[in-house]
Amino acid sequence: MKTRAALTLATLLAAPSAFAAETGYIPPRTEFGAPDLQGTWSIATQTNLERADRFEGKLVISEEEALQIEARVRARNEASNQPSDPNRAAPTDGGVGGYNTFWMDPGERLATVNGEIRTSVLIDPPDGRLPYSEQGRANYAEAMRRRNTYDGPEVRPLGERCTVGFGSTGGPPKLPVLYNNLTEIVQTEDYVVLLAEMNHDARIIRINGEFIDPPQYPWMGDSIGYYEGDTLVVETTNFHAQQSLRSSLEHRFYGSQQMKAIERFTRVADDVILYQFTIEDPENYTQPWSGELPMNATTDHVYEYACHEGNYALPGILAGARRADVEGQEYAPTN
């Protein structure tokens, strides 16, 4: 496994440098000499973490195929934006749902990396599927089972509880969510801050630092970083126990507290950062797995994400579940 991890990481190390040499792009530098990654970037995309069966194993598709997929996404969004009927409240009747696509911004385009239109964020294993071990798949299934119960606030997703953002928006690894897919990057000589728009999660990376000993298991883990040429490399481990299940849209995975994430941020154009990551977690996977996404520059602003203030979602969900208990029904919220 260590050999496979080394080979995977070596591939990721070489890719950005090769791309930069090929294009001749020279990234700007900060006043202290580091590659300048600062700004606001979007990771919104229709490309999922794992590769769907319909792509028959292909990582890259043609522009014509991509346009067909993106057209179907637009049509679906337009249909969802039609006015809803408040009288259709029963889940068996379609329900009114949480909100229509006016409020959503998961991205309308498939991810493009090095000029290739990608069908999955995962690039290794080559089949684009998470390499769960038997124990890892059981851990994931149990976590999903607990998530689909409504016995109390502790089993609900962290996003519903306004603790950290939904899915893995703050990372690592950073993955798209339903909306608020912006990340603001701020650099000083000693720190890099990755501020995710969702739930205003700020991951603070200590440059040339050491992991905290003994471990403290903070939200989003313990992150240290260093620069390799034009690339910021971030290593993170010691995750909070309640952050094992990351689930949003089609980006779902399970990781242990000792999972190690190695991320690479390389500015390959004025308006693009190539974001790459490798996950090592022998407790749940048979091998390391790797992925990559473009982070695209945007002029949009990162606005305040007010979650606790006036948020009745969690008490409403739990109250609905208790009512279903009394009536002897299975509770299935429409949102």
Of 295, 229, 269, the C-alpha closest to 25 is 269
Tens-digit pLDDT profile for residues 199-208:
999 999 999 9
Q: Is residue 78 part of a domain?
A: no
Say yes or no to pLDDT of 197 above 70.
Answer: yes
Of 103, 120, 100, the C-alpha closest to 111 is 120
Tens-digit pLDDT profile for residues 15-59:
555 555 556 899 999 999 999 999 999 999 999 999 999 999 999
Whichever domain contains 140, its CATH number is: 2.40.128.20
Looking at residue 8, its pLDDT comes to: 47
Run of H or E including 196: strand 191-196
Looking at residue 333, its pLDDT comes to: 65
Q: Is residue 204 part of a domain?
A: yes
Q: Is residue 50 part of a domain?
A: no
What span, in angstroms and rounded, lies between the C-alpha atoms of 117 and 112?
A: 4
Looking at residue 6, its pLDDT comes to: 47
Expressed as residue numbers, the domain containing 158 is: 2-45+129-318
pTM over 0.75? The answer is: yes
What span, in angstroms and rounded, lies between the C-alpha atoms of 198 and 159?
A: 9
Biggest distance spanned by C-alpha atoms of the chain: 67
CB atoms near residue 7 (< 10 Å): 12
Q: Is residue 261 part of a domain?
A: yes
Phi, psi of 144 (to 5 degrees): -70, -35
pLDDT band at 182 (very low <50, low <70, confident <90, very high): very high
CB 201 within 8 A of CB 249: no
Contacts 24+ apart (CB under 8 A), 307-310: 307/162, 307/199, 308/162
Number of domains, the chain: 1
Of 269, 262, 295, 283, the C-alpha closest to 124 is 262
How many Cα atoms are found within 13 Å in the side-chain-facing hemisphere of 91? 9
Q: Which of 69-83, 233-247, 257-271 has the lowest mean pLDDT?
A: 69-83
DSSP string, 223-263: EEEEEETTEEEEEEE---GGGSEEEETTEEEE--TT-EEEE
Q: Is residue 103 part of a domain?
A: no
Say yes or no to pLDDT of 4 above 70.
Answer: no
Taking the chain, what is the end-to-end CA distance rounded to the nearest angstrom?
A: 40
Residue 107 region, left (φ>0) first, then alpha (ψ -120 to 50), else beta?
left
Q: Is residue 59 part of a domain?
A: no
Q: Is residue 178 part of a domain?
A: yes
